[in-house]
Structures are given as structure tokens and as C-alpha cells.
Amino acid sequence: MAVTHINKTDAFKALCEKTAKLNEQLEGQQVKAGRVVLVGAGPGDPDLLTVKALREIQQADFIMYDRLVSEDIRALFPEGVPAMYVGKAKSNHSVPQEQLNQLLVEKALQGLNVCRVKGGDSFVFGRGGEEMIELKEAGIDVCLVPGITAAAGATSYAGIPLTHRGVSQGCTFVTAHGKPVAPGSHPAEPELDVCWKSLAGLNHTLVFYMGLSRAGMISRELTQAGLSADTPVALIEKGCCKDQRLVRGQLHELVELVEREQVQSPALIVVGEVVNLADQLDWFAAEQARTAQTNNIEYKQLRVSPEKLSA
């Protein structure tokens, strides 16, 4: 019987060479970049999430969410998936926008599917355009899921139509925040690039986002531009949430309304004759009462008497 002698030294060298080649191949392979989805979560009510928005949230590897994403919507985030708060309040940004843009890129380059959840709609005063530009320039796959913007959702829940035949033939959304100013600049508050005369003459419903702290300026500028001081106004606090609140009055008393009623952010300011339709078109209060009654009936049906428990 012939015996084949194996040169162990040569065999070991061959194995080392094969291992080295494999390591070189692995080192040359890059982690496949993940994907970023900008999800508009709507104004607060989880029932207003789109089917696509919920699906993207449920499939995410990493979630980054804003201050205006309600607690009820956050409860839908999948267990075990990291969720990072990156919200902004007045003069208090948890993560500066430039760093946030870079963080989105970094997480995607790690191979994660990132869900960037924003209140309302990402493209309506949501800085979604800035984030998408940054991601596209970095070569990251990015897409967008539209959401119901606060002006549409909150006014609907308040019984205020943005347009109404014979009353308002259009609506205009305005942010009360301009681009940030350099530290120490004057004025300290950013100037708004707004043509107040045009806004006053449109005969549109005007909706101001992030306007509580600038209510005095809004009232003054619109009145000086020719809008009647008696124009109806509404403040909608926490729109589309269980504790939504509606405060109504006239343009000349806007500041007084904010202070007297202690209106808190998030809140919208609505200016226009359509505000007077709120009493006729109110439906949310009745819906809340109906839901509470239904829940109460279901609770009573679920209750078990002490006699049955002891039986």
C-alpha cells in the first residue's frame, strides 16, 4: 500500500496564504449603507398616522424623534429599537441641526435603517429639506413619508375650515421664526422675511406656526399693514391631542389672550373670518364625549362583582 507523505510546513504555509487572502477580501468589503426615511407623524393623534408611516416606524433599526412627536405615537415605537430624542424648543436645541444632519449620515453609514420621525410634515417648517440635501450629498438612500401638517389637522379638530366658500378662498402658512442670528447681534430675535402688506391684503386664512412668543409682533404688523384690528383670531393649543384647547378673540387682543389664558406651546395662531365658524362646525368635543361614554360602557362590562369573584 502506497503511503503519501504530507509536508506539514507547506500545508501550513498554504493555509496561512489562504487565510491572508480571505482577510484582505473582508477588509476590502465595506458595510452596505443603510437607508433614512423622513416620516411625518402628523399633529399628535396616533390615528392620523398613515399606514406607510407606521410601517416604516415598525421596520426601523434606529429612531430619531422630535419634541412634537406625541407620547401616544412614541408608544408605537417597537420595543428594543433605540430611540433618540433630537427635539428643539425655543432657544433650546437638544442637538444642533448641523450635528443632527451629520448624525443621520453616520447612522446610515453604519448600515442602519434610520427612521427620522417629525411632528406634522417634514417639508412644512420641519427642516426636512435641509436633512434630505445633506443625506443625498453623502450618497445615502433617503425617502419621505408625508404627514398631516399641524395647520390642517389642528384647525380641522377645532372646527375651523382653512377655506370656506364666500369667506376665505385661500390659506397661507407662515413661520414666526426666522433664520438664527449670530450671538450678540441686534436685534436678538431673528427678523422675518415677510411682506406683511401682502398677507393683510390676501383675504386668506393666515396660520402662524411657532408664534406664541411673537404674538405682539404678529398683531402689530398685520394691523399696521391694513388688517382690521377686529379680525377674528384663534389659538389652538396641543392640536389633535386629548387635551386640545381652543382660545378665541380678536387680532387687537392677541397678546392678552396668550397671557390671560396662559397658552402653552405647541400652539398655532389662526387669523381670519373662518374662525367665526368654529361654533357651528365643532365636532371634536362631541366625539370626545362619545368616546368617553363608549369606554365607560366597556369598562362596566369588564367589571366583575365581588360575589362572582368569591363564587
Q: 371634536: which residue's cell?
A: 284
> For the segment 49-61, what is each residue's pLDDT rounded down to a tens digit?
999 999 999 999 9
The predicted pLDDT at position 216 comes to: 96
How far is the C-alpha of 305 from the C-alpha of 192, rounded, in Å? 63
Indicate if the pLDDT at residue 6 is higher than 50.
no
| pLDDT tens digit sequence for 164-217 | 999 999 999 999 976 655 555 555 566 688 999 999 999 999 999 999 999 999
Of 165, 229, 224, whose CA–CA distance to 197 is shortest?
Answer: 224
Give residues with Cβ within 8 angstroms of 280, minimum separation 6. 159
- CATH tag, 35-148: 3.40.1010.10
Of 61-65, 129-133, 297-301, the range with the lowest mean pLDDT is 297-301
- 39 vs 292: which has the higher pLDDT: 39
Per-residue pLDDT for 248 more than 50? yes
Helix (H, G, I), strand (E, B) or coil at 176: coil
Predicted local distance difference test score (pLDDT) of residue 102: 96
Distance between CA atoms of residues 163 and 45, nearest Å = 23
Question: Using CA of residue 178, residue 181, residue 184, residue 187, what is the dihedral sign?
Answer: negative
Domain locations in the chain as residue ranges: 35-148, 152-180+187-282
Nearest to 120 by CA among 176, 37, 179, 39: 39
CB 218 within 8 A of CB 211: yes
Strands 88-89 and 92-93: antiparallel
Q: Give CA–CA dist 200/225, Å, rounded.
A: 6
Residue 151 C-alpha from the chain's centroid: 12
Q: How far apart are CA 195 and CA 197, in angstroms?
A: 6
* pLDDT of residue 26 exceeding 50: no
Instruction: Give the range among 42-46, 144-148, 197-201, 286-290 with minimum mean pLDDT.
Output: 286-290
Average pLDDT, integer, range 147-157: 97
Say whether domain 152-180+187-282 belongs to CATH 3.30.950.10. Answer: yes
Ranges 90-99, 185-194, 256-265, 287-296, most confident: 256-265
Residue 164, classified by CB atoms within 10 Å of its CB into exposed (0-12), middle (13-18) or buried (19+), is middle
The single residue listed with the C-alpha cell 362572582 is 308
Lowest mean pLDDT among 109-118, 237-246, 293-302: 293-302
Residue 33 has a pLDDT of 86
Whether 152-180+187-282 and 35-148 are alike in CATH topology: the answer is no
Question: C-alpha angle with apex 185: 94 to 91, nearest 5 degrees?
Answer: 20
Residue showing cell 453616520: 106
Q: What is the mean pLDDT of the chain?
A: 87
The three three-digit cell numbers of residue 137, written as one number: 450629498
Question: Active-site residues: which are they?
Answer: 66, 88
Query: Nearest CA to 146 among 242, 41, 291?
Result: 41
DSSP E strands in the chain: the ranges are: 35-40, 62-65, 83-85, 88-89, 92-93, 113-118, 141-145, 171-175, 205-209, 232-237, 245-250, 267-271
Cα–Cα distance measured from residue 127 to residue 212, given in angstroms and rounded to the nearest whole number: 20
What would the grid cell of residue 130 be? Answer: 435641509
